[in-house]
Amino acid sequence: MTVDLAAPAAAAQGQFDSLYLARGEEVNKNRPVFTGDVFRGVKMYSPATDAWRGRDFLVVQHPCTLREDGVNLTENLLVVEISPHAQIEDWTGYSKLMPLPALNPELQTKRRDCAAMFKKLYIVSAASLASGERIACLSLEGTSLLVQRWVFVNSRAVVELRTITELIAGPWAEAEIAEDWCDSRASDGLTAETSAAECLTWLRETLSTGKTRQDMLDDPVYRSAVRQQARQELRRLRAGSQNPSATGNQ
Amino acid sequence: MPTDKIVTVSDSDLMGGTAGSSLTPLADLTSSAAHLTEEVGYTRSIARETQRDVEQLHQRTHIIQWEVRTHDEVRKAASTLLDELAELGFSWSDIARMVGVSVPAVRKWRQGGKTTGSNRRDLAALRAACLLISEQYLIEEVASWFEVPISAGSAITPIDLYAAGHRQELFDWAAGYADAEQILTEIDPNWREKGRTTHEVFTSTDGERGIRPKS
């Protein structure tokens, strides 16, 4: 059986919305940085011109290696540069790039459609990345397509999209819960960093089964149960924040 | 429909008769067997048509029941419906996919943003489908049920069925009236080829998950 690089589900109809979780102003600042996030205007020093210049990057580092302590981004992050690029029809080709059609849907210029160029690799610090503006987050489907192409360009091996999605669905679900947690705790006055740490501590608690909730997210059977528990825990924490005298560990 | 009387034929008749019994002519036996086959075949056709009619009728009544539940649910505010769906354990991205909108749109609704009548009806329909599936077919953890592939040979989940508009197939799967192969073949005859994998997810010795070729 031959396996080709995959295309977005509705690519044949010229529909690429399913690639993205959010673009432009839709991007939620509380979402943890994840593989496939696009940053605009990241400041990079250019020795050739002896000047700082803003560049656009896409994060290609695998979700499991983005953070050493689970909360703060690792010091150095692997990114690839984004350039304007016409839409491609055949996703099985053009393996040295990740197409980003309609990355800037509001534009009518050539910058509307872009691509992440795998040959233009950079290592940036977390601080540099933060100097840019996050302008897009890929969806689970988009992230799986990115990982498939990234694996191929580095190894010439094609792994089926289904298997890649199975691998990253757990970390993806964790990012969704963290985003929700940070949104909810922001109304209690907590910073995103504090909330993310609180969420991670809760996810990493070892349960009576010997597993953590983070482990459970790898299995689609248990994901919904972890989300339900997260909502219950958030209610408990928020009740404690609004009425400190009633706070107690349950 | 044939109205001739059915002639009972004993084994001994078919063997050509025994001493002392009268012999049935071979031509009569052939004719009787043909009548019998015709009558049973006719009954079988009737039974098949009746089964198909009953299946379609059941599917129609199920859709009507779903619409009635949807009508009940649509009275609720969009934010209430979203809360109820989230309480079941659905992720925002899965809810967004099943009602055909973006995740940021769902976030706006949660924060009290305006929805169209069509949006609210779609949310109500999803909530009603969950209620029907859990109450009628006794599926306890409905969000988990939605998230798990229907066959080991395919990645298609009930979420995919719902999002792609295969609602009848979804209800038939929940009710146990259709098996996974039947449903997958109906929606994509090439599902076996598309679902085949040469790699698998495994847990490495460092405790992290990874991908390796299947042995």
Nearest Cα neighbor of B113 from B82, B141, B155, B72 is: B82
pLDDT digits (tens, 9 = 90+) for A70-84: 888 999 999 999 999
Q: Are B141 and A225 in contact (CB under 8 A)?
A: yes
Q: Note whether B182 contacts A: Cβ–Cβ < 8 A.
A: no
Q: Note whether A166 contacts B: Cβ–Cβ < 8 A.
A: yes
Nearest Cα neighbor of A168 from A217, A211, A241, A204 is: A217
Q: Note whether A220 contacts B: Cβ–Cβ < 8 A.
A: yes
Least confident of A101-105, B121-125, B177-181: B177-181
Chain A CA closest to residue B86? A228
pLDDT digits (tens, 9 = 90+) for A226-244: 999 999 999 999 888 777 6
Q: Which of residues 70-109 of A touch B (CB under 8 A)?
A: none
Q: Of A158, A227, A231, A235, which to mutate for an interface test with B (greatest number of B Cβ within 10 Å)?
A: A227
pLDDT of amino acid A15? 85
ipTM of this predicted structure? 0.89
- Nearest chain A Cα distance for residue B179, angstroms: 20
Mean pLDDT value of segment A58-65: 91
Q: Among B92, B196, B209, whose Cβ lies nearest the Cβ of A1?
A: B196
Q: Are A62 and A173 in contact (CB under 8 A)?
A: no
pLDDT of B22 above 80: no
Q: Of B98, B101, B107, which to mutate for an interface test with A (greatest number of A Cβ within 10 Å)?
A: B107
pLDDT of amino acid B138? 87
Cβ contact, residue pair A140, B93, below 8 Å: yes
Q: Are A20 and A164 in contact (CB under 8 A)?
A: no
Counting one residue from chain A and one from chain B, the pairs whose CB atoms sit within 8 A come to: 81
Could you give the 3-state DSSP secondary structure of residue A223?
helix
- For residue A228, the tally of other CB atoms under 10 A from its CB is 18
CA distance A49 to B214: 50
Higher pLDDT, B31 or A246: B31
Residues 6+ apart with CB under 8 A from B164: B187
- Nearest chain A Cα distance for residue B59, angstroms: 28
pLDDT of amino acid A241? 76
pLDDT of amino acid B195? 84
pLDDT of B133 above 70: yes
pLDDT of amino acid A162? 93
pLDDT of amino acid B10? 59
Mean pLDDT value of segment B30-56: 92
Mean pLDDT value of segment B179-202: 91
pLDDT of B72 above 90: yes
What are the backbone angles phi and psi of residue A241, rounded to the nearest 5°? -65, -35
Handedness of CA A11, A13, A14, A16 (dihedral sign): negative
Confidence of residue A148 (pLDDT cuts 50, 70, 90): very high
Query: Which H, E and C letters describe chain B, residue by residue?
Result: CCCCCCCCCCHHHHCCCCCCCCCCCHHHHHHHHHHHHHHHHHHHHHHHHHHHHHHHHHHHHHHHHHHHHHHHHCCCCHHHHHHHHHHHCCCHHHHHHHHCCCHHHHHHHHCCCCCCHHHHHHHHHHHHHHHHHHHHCCCCCHHHHHHCCCCCCCCCCHHHHHHCCCHHHHHHHHHCCCCHHHHHHHHCCCHHHHHCCCEEEEECCCCCEEEEECC
Helix, strand and coil content of chain A, in percent to the nearest 5, comes to 40, 25, 35
- Nearest chain B Cα distance for residue A50, angstroms: 40
Single pTM value for the model: 0.86
Q: Among B86, B143, B199, whose Cβ lies nearest the Cβ of A159?
A: B199
Q: Which two tokens stand for residue A203?
A: 């996810």
How many residues does the structure list for chain A? 250
Percent of chain A with pLDDT over 90: 78
Cβ contact, residue pair B104, A223, below 8 Å: no
- Nearest chain A Cα distance for residue B163, angstroms: 12
